[in-house]
Amino acid sequence: MKFPADLSAKTQAAMREVAETYILPRYKKLAEGDVKSKSHPNDLVTIADVESEHALTRMLPDFLPGSRVVGEEAVAADAKVLDSLAGSDPVWIVDPIDGTANFVKGEASFAVMIALVQSGETLAGWIHDPVINRTLWAEKGAGAWLTVGQTTVPVKMPAPPSDNLHDLTAGIYNRGFKSLVGKFHRVTRIGSAAHDYWSLSDGRMHVLCFSRMRPWDHAAGVLICAEAGGYSCMLSGKPYAPALADQVGIVSAPSRHIWEIVVNAKS
């Protein structure tokens, strides 16, 4: 698919606008009634999530005629919205605030995530950090990039200290890897897939293990890390794709070699 030349710039501008209009004004200032629970008490949604997703749902299709939007909150209201991922039309996958629980607690580890998918393939992904006002993004086959202000620089995942688990930092969100917790140098849980994948792309994290495979949590991050030089694969052995039916978990690492070490150590 051929992108309009200004597609990424427009998407980043929309993310910044939405963050400045709907998210940052409520950061550490949520009022009573601004936070609700969805499927369980820890599955939170705020008025900032809802308003941000509505705004992006209005804006994004204008950047790419014929495209549609699949948003986290829209799917929460109607699961059939996910069916759009199986079609041939371009689809924007939107997580208006990834790390909502952190946002509610006044912690800075939250972000806006968007991925562009067509025919089951992720073609572009963006992660915008509203607090620092920077955007990590990638286009398939064109590398990963970091934009801060007017400056954009390429992102290349640093080589890990070694291939020994004792030298690596991991984010483990999959109980199947619980036995490995003591084998890593450090295990951390940021509580935001956006910041987990960002940490992997710049070398602060070396291994990510997830079980919950909601497309808005992973489509952008997996592509960005791949374009930065990393490796991700489903535990089923299939490459990641947002619409796969047998998504039992995923592991991401700086290389296939380290991915294999981690998965084999679990076994």
Residue 255 CA to residue 223 CA, distance in Å, equals: 14
The average confidence (pLDDT) of the chain is 94
Does one domain contain both 57 and 178? no
Residue 159 resides in a domain: no
Helices (H), the chain: 7-18, 47-63, 72-77, 100-105, 193-201, 215-227, 256-266
Residue 101, token pair as written in the block: 């629980």
Does one domain contain both 23 and 56? yes
Does one domain contain both 76 and 169? no
- pLDDT at position 38, please? 78
* Sign of CA pseudo-dihedral 222, 225, 229, 230: negative
Does residue 199 register a pLDDT over 70?
yes
Percent of the chain having pLDDT more than 70? 97
Burial class (CB in 10 A: 0-12, 13-18, 19+), 6: exposed
- Count the domains in the chain: 2
Residue among 22, 169, 4 nearest 96 (CA):
22
DSSP-assigned letter for residue 80: G
- Cα angle vertex 24, ends 19, 26, to 5°? 125
Residue 1 resides in a domain: no
pTM of the predicted model as reported, rounded to 2 decimal places? 0.95
More confidently predicted of 247 and 14:
14
- pLDDT at position 92, please? 97
User: What tens digit of pLDDT does each residue of 20-58 get?
Assistant: 999 999 999 999 899 888 777 777 889 999 999 999 999
Does one domain contain both 123 and 37? yes
Domain edge (last residue) among 85, 119, 154:
154
Does one domain contain both 125 and 239? no
Domain edge (last residue) among 134, 154, 174:
154
**Structural domain for 126, as ranges:** 7-154
Does one domain contain both 43 and 126? yes
- pLDDT at position 1, please? 60
Residue 75 CA to residue 250 CA, distance in Å, equals: 22
User: What tens digit of pLDDT does each residue of 141-192 get?
Assistant: 999 999 999 999 999 999 999 999 999 999 999 999 999 999 999 999 999 9
CATH classification of the domain holding 248: 3.40.190.80
Domain edge (last residue) among 90, 119, 154:
154
User: Of 17-31, 69-83, 108-122, 248-262, which range is least confident?
Assistant: 69-83
Does one domain contain both 71 and 133? yes
Does one domain contain both 109 and 133? yes
More confidently predicted of 217 and 244:
217
Does one domain contain both 142 and 19? yes
Does one domain contain both 218 and 86? no
Does residue 99 register a pLDDT over 70?
yes
- pLDDT at position 246, please? 61
CA–CA distance from 100 to each of 4, 112, 219 (Å)?
32, 10, 18
- pLDDT at position 116, please? 97
